[in-house]
Amino acid sequence: MVPSFLSLRLSCLGLWASGLILVLGFLKLIRLLLRRQRLAKAMGNFPGPPTHWLFGHALEIQQTGSLDKVVSWAHQFPYAHPLWFGQFIGFLNIYEPDYAKAVYSRGDPKAPDVYDFFLQWIGRGLLVLEGPKWFQHRKLLTPGFHYDVLKPYVALFAESTRVMLDKWEEKADDLGKMTYLTMCIKESFRLYPPVPQVYRQLSKPVTFVDGRSLPAGSLISMHIYALHRNSAVWPDPEVFDPLRFSTENASKRHPFAFMPFSAGPRNCIGQQFAMSEMKVVTAMCLLHFEFSLDPSRLPIKMLQLVLRSKNGIHLHLKPLGPGSGK
Ligand SMILES: *[C@@H]1O[C@H](CO)[C@@H](O)[C@H](O)[C@H]1NC(C)=O
């Protein structure tokens, strides 16, 4: 059992403690109020955006788009305006070169209201120190950033960048995956094969599927352009339809139905190169422009070993605007 005199003393102590806390809290509040009054009075000459009775401007500042909010305020108040985080912390928010010079050409200490929050995180280092200690640290560290000291880092920067670029290059293997673009390119190659007609001389006789044959020495003209418009293979052959080249559709087709790079052992050795180039160039062009044919000057197809346009290719280019596709 607790002796009664002790419990009396304990309750007295509790009373004293709560009284003390109350007084201290009251004093703190008075200090805050005085400070608020001082800050508000100091900024009395600076007009600013309206403040919330409790939060000041904190709500606007925390929202996304707060940077643009401040810019809109800066248009309204060309040099500076008060900025309140709640009731007790008010800054003069400045954004004008002469205002900046007036403050930053001097060595005023960092605002403890803000940077004290960071102490746990960044410690009492160069960023938040002040006075002689700051000066000493600054003096110690400055030679570390001398131009000559930085020189060896150039190789390091270069190496890091090279590693980054290599990784990007691996990623840029989105080259093989540009599925729809690939289908569009193939469909274009179907309708406009780069080499529409190729020739062979038979070294041995050949027998065709329907029993007809040709002797050795015969000449063959392989008309790729007509093959690609063969309606037995390509329904509605004149219609541009990239879906013809979906994996599913393409797998059902005769392997020799589509031969923009010729076919067999003597096919075009550079076809992978050409496809990669086409994809990259086309994708980059399409990022920047919308292309359409000039209807008054449509290309006139002409066969000169390769497929060409007799009258050039007249296009309308519509810029997609800066930053488009980024
Ligand atoms: C196959 O091609 C047809 C005709 O172009 C198209 O309608 C269909 O969607 C294609 N199928 C697939 C799986 O792409």
Q: What is the pLDDT along the chain (326 residues), one digit of tens a residue?
A: 555 666 767 788 889 999 999 999 999 999 989 989 998 999 999 999 999 999 999 988 887 777 788 888 998 998 999 999 898 889 999 998 888 888 888 878 777 777 777 777 777 777 778 888 888 888 888 888 888 888 888 888 888 888 887 877 776 667 567 889 999 999 999 999 998 888 888 889 999 989 999 998 888 888 999 999 999 999 999 999 999 999 999 999 998 999 999 888 888 888 888 888 888 888 888 888 999 999 999 998 888 778 889 899 999 999 987 655 44
CB 236 less than 6 A from any atom of ligand 1? no
| Residues in the annotated binding site for heme | 268
Going from the Cα of 309 to the center of ligand 1, the distance in angstroms, rounded, reads 30
Is residue 314 one of the residues assigned to a domain?
no
CB 190 less than 6 A from any atom of ligand 1? no
Cα-trace Rg, the chain: 39
Rounded Cα gap, residues 59 and 76, in angstroms: 19
Task: Check if the beta carbon of residue 92 is closer than 8 Å to that of residue 39.
Answer: no
Q: What is the CATH number of the domain that holds 194?
A: 1.10.630.10
Nearest CA owner, ligand 1 atom 7: 243
Is residue 27 one of the residues assigned to a domain?
no
CB 241 less than 6 A from any atom of ligand 1? yes
Rounded Cα gap, residues 92 and 97, in angstroms: 15
Could you tell me which residues are beta bridge partners of residue 80?
94
Going from the Cα of 240 to the center of ligand 1, the distance in angstroms, rounded, reads 12
Task: Check if the beta carbon of residue 230 is closer than 8 Å to that of residue 222.
Answer: no
Is residue 119 one of the residues assigned to a domain?
yes
What are the Cα distances from residue 52, in Å, to 57, 147, 153, 192? 6, 49, 50, 67
Is residue 25 one of the residues assigned to a domain?
no
- The three-class DSSP label of residue 299 is coil
pLDDT at residue 5 in the model: 63
What phi and psi, each to the nearest 5 degrees, are found at residue 133?
Answer: -65, -40
CB 60 less than 6 A from any atom of ligand 1? no
Q: What is the dihedral sign for C-alpha 28, 30, 34, 40? A: positive
- In testing the pocket of ligand 1, which one of 184, 249, 258 has its CB within 8 Å of the most ligand atoms? 249
Going from the Cα of 250 to the center of ligand 1, the distance in angstroms, rounded, reads 9
Is residue 83 classed exposed, middle or buried when 0-12, 13-18 and 19+ CB atoms within 10 A define those classes? Answer: buried
| Cα angle 64-65-70, degrees, rounded to a multiple of 5 | 125
Rounded Cα gap, residues 111 and 55, in angstroms: 20
Tell me which residue range forms the domain holding 197.
36-289
CB 243 less than 6 A from any atom of ligand 1? yes
Q: Which atom of ligand 1 is nearest to the CA of 248?
A: 13
Rounded Cα gap, residues 279 and 181, in angstroms: 7
**Counted domains in the chain:** 1
Q: Which atom of ligand 1 is nearest to the CA of 249?
A: 1
In sequence order, which ranges of the chain are alpha helices (DSSP H)?
A: 4-42, 58-62, 66-76, 97-104, 112-115, 119-122, 131-141, 147-171, 179-191, 224-227, 247-251, 271-288
Is residue 300 one of the residues assigned to a domain?
no
Is residue 29 one of the residues assigned to a domain?
no
Is residue 84 one of the residues assigned to a domain?
yes
Rounded Cα gap, residues 201 and 207, in angstroms: 14
Going from the Cα of 245 to the center of ligand 1, the distance in angstroms, rounded, reads 8
Is residue 189 one of the residues assigned to a domain?
yes
CB 161 less than 6 A from any atom of ligand 1? no
